[in-house]
Amino acid sequence: MTSENLAAPEAPAMRPRRRRRRGIWPLVRDILVIVVVAVLVSFVIKTFFVRSFYIPSGSMEQTLLIKDRILVDEFTPHFSGYERGDVIVFRDPGGWLPVSATPPRPPLVEAWDWVLSLVGISAPDSEDHLIKRIIGVGGDHVVCCNALGQVTVNGTPIDETRYLDLAPGQSAPVVKPYDVTVPEGSFWVLGDNRDHSQDSRYNTDQPSHGFVPEQNVVGRAFLITWPFSRFGGIDFHHDVFAGVPKE
Catalytic residue positions?
A: 59, 132
Tell me which residue of 180, 171, 141, 158 sits closest to 85, measured CA to CA.
Answer: 158
15-42 burial code (b ≥16 CB/10 A, e <16): eeeeeeeeeeeeeeeeeeeeeeeeeeeb
Bridge partner residues of 189 (DSSP): 134
Helix (H, G, I), strand (E, B) or coil at 79: helix
Helix (H, G, I), strand (E, B) or coil at 45: helix
**Axis crossing angle, helix 107-118 with helix 24-48, rounded to the nearest 10:** 70
**Within 49-106, where are the H helices?**
77-80
Residues 6 or more apart in contact with residue 244 via CB below 8 angstroms: 84, 140, 153, 154, 156, 158
Tell me which residue of 175, 145, 166 sits closest to 157, measured CA to CA.
Answer: 145
Contact (CB, 8 A) for 170 and 122: no
- C-beta atoms surrounding 73 within 10 Å: 19
Give the span between the Cα atoms of 203 and 237, in whole angstroms: 25
Helix (H, G, I), strand (E, B) or coil at 42: helix
